[in-house]
Structure 1
Amino acid sequence: MKGEFGVAVERRSAADESAMRRRGIIAAIICISVVGFGLSLSGPLLSLLLESRGISSTMIGVNTAVAGFASLVTAPLVPRLVRRLGTKRLIYVALANGAVTFSLFPVSDFWLWFPLRFLFTSSVTILFIVSEFWIATAAPEGRRGFVMGIYATVLSFGFAVGPGALAVFGSENPILFVLVPATFLAAALPVAFGRAVAPAVDRAQSFRFLALLFVAPSATLAALVFGAFEQTTFSLTALYGLRNGLGEGAAAMLISVVGIGNMLFQIPIGLAADRLNRTLALAVCALAGLIGALLLPFVVGSLWLVLPLVFIWGGLTGGLYTIGLTHLAARFSGADLAAANSLFVMLYSFGMLVGPISAGAAMDVWDPHGFAWVMASLFGLYMLVPFTRFVSSFVRRG
C-alpha cells in the first residue's frame, strides 16, 4: 500500500508538472502571436498614415529604420531586465508601453515619431525575447522542436492576419488605431493565465553576451541568415518577379507562397529537430536555401515552376529559426538561455537590416538576378558553419 501510494503521488506530480508546462507554453504562444498580429498590422498602417500626411518616402524609410536600431540596442539589455523585474512583470510593462506608444502616433507631430518608434519597437523586442525564453524553458526536452514548430506556425498565422485586417477595414478607418493597442492589452490575458508558471531568472549569466555567438554559432547565426532572407523576400521578391516578366499579381503571389511554405513546414521541421542532429539539420536547411536561390533565375519566368520552388524554399529555410531556437534551448538554461535568446533576436534584426540593402544593391549591379546571387551567397557561407561543426564533432566522437 505504501509503495503503491508513493507511485500514485509520483505519477500525479509528473502529470501536474506536464500540465503546468503546457499552461505556460500556451500562454506564451498566444501572447506573442497576438502581438505578432498587432505588429504586422502596425507596420503598413503607420507608413500609409505618414504618406497621407505628405511625408516623403525617404523620411518614411528613415523613420522605419529606427525600428531596427531600437531592436539592436534593446536586445542586450533584456537578460538584466528579466532578472530584475521577472518574466511576467516585464511582459506586462512591455505590453503597456507598446499600447501607449502606438496610441500616440496618430496625434503626434512627425518629429515625435522617432522616439515613439524606438519605444514601440523596444517593447516588441522585449516581448519576443521573453516569450521565446518562456516557451523554450517550458518545452520538454524530447518535444522542444515540436513545440517550437507550433510556435513558429501560430506566429506566422498572426503575422498573416494583420495585413488582412488592413485590407478589410482600409487604412483610413480609425478602428485600426484602436485595434493595435487593444491587441497588446489583450495579450496580457494569456500571461495572467500562465503567470504561476512563468520562468524565473535568479542569477547572472555565465557567458558574456557576445561570447554566446562563439559558443553556439550555428544556432545564433541562423537567426541572422533567416532575418536577412525573410525581410529580403518580403521586400524584393515581387520586384524580382516583375523584372523577370511576371505580372504584378503573379509577382505579389510569390511573397504569399513563401509565407505559406514557411507556416506549413515548421511543425514537421520541429518534429525532425527532435529526432535528428540539430547542427546537421541547420546545415540541411541552409543547403536547401542555397539550392533554391541557385535555381530561382532558371524558373522565375514561369509561374508554374517558380511557385512550387518558392513554397519549398520558404518552408525549409524557415527551419533555420525553428531549429535555431530549439538548439539554443538544448544548449543553455536560465540566465544563459535568456541572454542567448536576446542575441538570437538581435542578430535576426541585424539580418533584417543588411539583407534588403545588400540584395537591393546587387539588383542594381546585376539586374535582375543580383537578388538570387546574394541569397545564394548568404546561405552558402552560413552552411559552412554548421557543416564544419558537425564534421568536427563526428571526428571527435570517432
Structure 2
Amino acid sequence: MNSRDRETQSISGDNYHSSLPGKLFSTRYKIALLGFLGYVLLFAMRASISVAIVAMVANQKADNSSFSENCPENSMNKSAEQIQTEQLLVDDQPLEGKFDWTSTQQAYVLAAFFYGNCMLQFCGGYFASKFGGKHLYGFGFLIRAILFMLNPLIAYLGVQVLIIVKITEGVIEAVTMPAFHHLTSRWAPKFERSIFAGIAISGFAFGTMFGQLIAGILCSFRFLNGWPLVFLLLGFLGFIWFGLWMYTAYNSPDKHPRISESEREFINKFTQVDDNKKHKIPWKSIATSPRFIGLIFGHMAQNTICYGIMTSLPLYLSNVLNFDIQGDGFFSAVPWLCCFLGVISSSQLTDFLRRRKYVTTTFIRKSNQITGCVIPAIFLASAGYSGCNATLAVSFITVGMYLFGFAYSGCYCNHLDIAPYFAGTIFGITNTFAVMPGTY
C-alpha cells in the first residue's frame, strides 16, 4: 500500500466532509449527470423495442391467443389489432409496417442485443484502463445510436437482418458500462462512490421508464405509423448527448482543463487512485479471489431481475392483462420510476452511513444486495399469482422494483471498493456473465 492510500484510508468521514467542495456545480458531478443522461438514452433504446414491437407485429395476439383466454379485455382498452388497424390502415391500402413475425422471431429480436452485449464487456474495461474511458463511452454510444436510428429501415429487410443488427448494437454498446465504471474510479471520491455511481446508473431505470413511456405514446401516432418515431427520436437525442459528452468529460481530473484546482486536489486525495503510477493487472489474484466470484453471482442475480422485467413486462401487460399500446407503455414505465427513486435514495443513504461510520462498507453492500435481489424476487413472483387483477400485479411489481434499486448500492459499487485501480476491468468481466440472463 503506498503512502497516498494510507493517507486516504486514515481520513475520517468528518474530516472528509469538512474538505468537501460544493458538489452541486462541481465538475465531477457534471460528468456524473452526463453519465446519467447517457445511460438514460442507452437503456431507452434497449427498452423501447419491447413496446415498439407490439405495434410493429400485426399478429401479436394471434401468436399468443392462449394468454388472452385467461383475462377478459378491459372495456377501457382496445385490442392490439384494433390499435394497429386504426393507426396503419389508410383507404383500404395494405398495412404499411405489418411484420408477420412469429412469437419465436420476436423473442430473438428482443434477445439479440444481449447476445452481442456479452462479447466485448471485458474489452471495454481493459482498454479503458489502458487508454481512458471517455472515448470508449462516447463513441460506443454514438455508433449504437446510429444503428438504432436505422432499425425501421432494417426491419423491412427482414427479421434475420434486424437480429444481426441488434447483435451488433449489443457488441458496440458492451464497451460503454465498463468504460464508465473506470471513469467512476477516477472521478468519485471514496465516500461518494455510491452517490456518484448511483446518479449515473440510475439512468438505466429512468431510461427504461422513459423509453417504454415514449414508445407507448409515439406508437399511437398515425404519422409514419408511429413506431419508427421511437427510433428516430432517441437516435437524434443521442447525437446531442454525444456533443455534450465530448466537450465536458475527460479521463481524469488531472487531464481536465476547466476543473478548479481545489476540486482537482480533493478528488486526487480521496479517490485512492494515482494514474501517474502504472499497475499490472493481477489476473491470477482476481481469478482466485472469493470476492470476485461473489461479485459475478451477485451481478448475475441483479441483472436477471433487470432484464427479465425490461423485456417481458410490456408483453405481459399486453398479452396477459390486455392493456392497449398506450397503457402498455405507461404501466411498463411506472415500476422503473420507482426503481430510479430506489437507486437514488439508497445511494444517498449508503454513503451517509459509510461517511458517518455507522456501518462498515462490507455490511452495507451486502445488506443492499439482499434487499435489492431477494425481496424483489418475492414480490415479482407474487405478481405472477395475481391472475387478472392488474392493479395488484402492477403494485407488486412496482414495490419490488423500488427495492431492486438498492442492489445498485450493493455489488454494482463493490468493484470500486475492492479494487479501485482495476474497477473497469473487473466490472467488464462480471458484467460479461451478468448480461447472459438477457439472452434467455
Match of 1:324 in 2: 411
Match of 2:260 in 1: none
Cα deviation 1:89-115 (Å, max 9, x = unaligned):
222321332233234434442343344
Are the aligned partners of 1:285 and 1:317 in contact in 2 as well (CA < 8 Å)?
A: yes
Please report how far the alpha carbon of residue 55 of structure 1 lies from its aligned counterpart in structure 2 after TM superposition.
4.4
Match of 2:400 in 1: 313
Cα deviation 1:203-228 (Å, max 9, x = unaligned):
55223698287433444322211221
Q: Which residue, out of 264, 267, 273, partners 2:350?
A: 273
For residues 126-275 of structure 1, the aligned pairs below 5 Å read 126-170=175-219, 172-173=225-226, 174-198=228-252, 203-207=279-283, 211=287, 214-236=290-312, 248=323, 255-274=332-351, 275=353
Q: Which residue, out of 126, 135, 140, partners 1:94?
A: 140
Question: How far apart, in 2, do the equivalents of 1:24 and 1:225 lie?
Answer: 28
Match of 1:364 in 2: none
SS where residue 187 of structure 1 aligns? helix
Please report how far the alpha carbon of residue 71 of structure 1 lies from its aligned counterpart in structure 2 after TM superposition.
1.0
1:353 equivalenced with 2:439 (yes/no)? yes
Are the aligned partners of 1:37 and 1:158 in contact in 2 as well (CA < 8 Å)?
A: yes
1:30 equivalenced with 2:37 (yes/no)? yes
Question: How far apart, in 1, do the equivalents of 2:118 and 2:405 lie?
Answer: 22
1:62 equivalenced with 2:69 (yes/no)? no
Cα deviation 1:267-322 (Å, max 9, x = unaligned):
22113332242123323434423543575577667666555543322211232233
Q: Which residue, out of 417, 420, 423, partners 1:337?
A: 423
Question: How far apart, in 2, do the equivalents of 1:223 and 1:70 lie?
Answer: 18
Question: How far apart, in 1, do the equivalents of 2:393 and 2:123 lie?
Answer: 42
Opposite residue 111 of structure 2, the aligned amino acid is: A
Question: How far apart, in 2, do the equivalents of 1:92 and 1:151 lie?
Answer: 14
Question: How far apart, in 1, do the equivalents of 2:314 and 2:34 lie?
Answer: 36
- Cα distance change on mapping 1:281 and 1:91 into 2, 3 Å: closer
Pairwise CA RMSD: 3.9
Aligned length: 342
SS where residue 265 of structure 1 aligns? helix
Match of 1:358 in 2: none
Cα deviation 1:99-139 (Å, max 9, x = unaligned):
33234434442343344222212222222332233235422
Q: Indicate the larger mover: 32-41 or 183-192.
A: 32-41
Question: How far apart, in 2, do the equivalents of 1:209 and 1:43 lie?
Answer: 40
Question: How far apart, in 2, do the equivalents of 1:324 and 1:302 lie?
Answer: 34
Question: How far apart, in 2, do the equivalents of 1:254 and 1:205 lie?
Answer: 45
SS where residue 54 of structure 1 aligns? coil
Are the aligned partners of 2:299 and 2:434 in contact in 1 as well (CA < 8 Å)?
A: yes
Please report how far the alpha carbon of residue 191 of structure 1 lies from its aligned counterpart in structure 2 after TM superposition.
1.7
Are the aligned partners of 2:202 and 2:343 in contact in 1 as well (CA < 8 Å)?
A: yes
SS where residue 143 of structure 1 aligns? helix
- Cα distance change on mapping 1:50 and 1:76 into 2, 3 Å: farther
Match of 1:360 in 2: none
> Which structure dedicates a bigger proportion of its chain to helix?
1
Are the aligned partners of 1:29 and 1:135 in contact in 2 as well (CA < 8 Å)?
A: no
Are the aligned partners of 1:95 and 1:187 in contact in 2 as well (CA < 8 Å)?
A: no
Match of 2:265 in 1: none
SS where residue 73 of structure 1 aligns? coil
Match of 1:117 in 2: 166
Q: Indicate the larger mover: 39-48 or 152-161.
A: 39-48
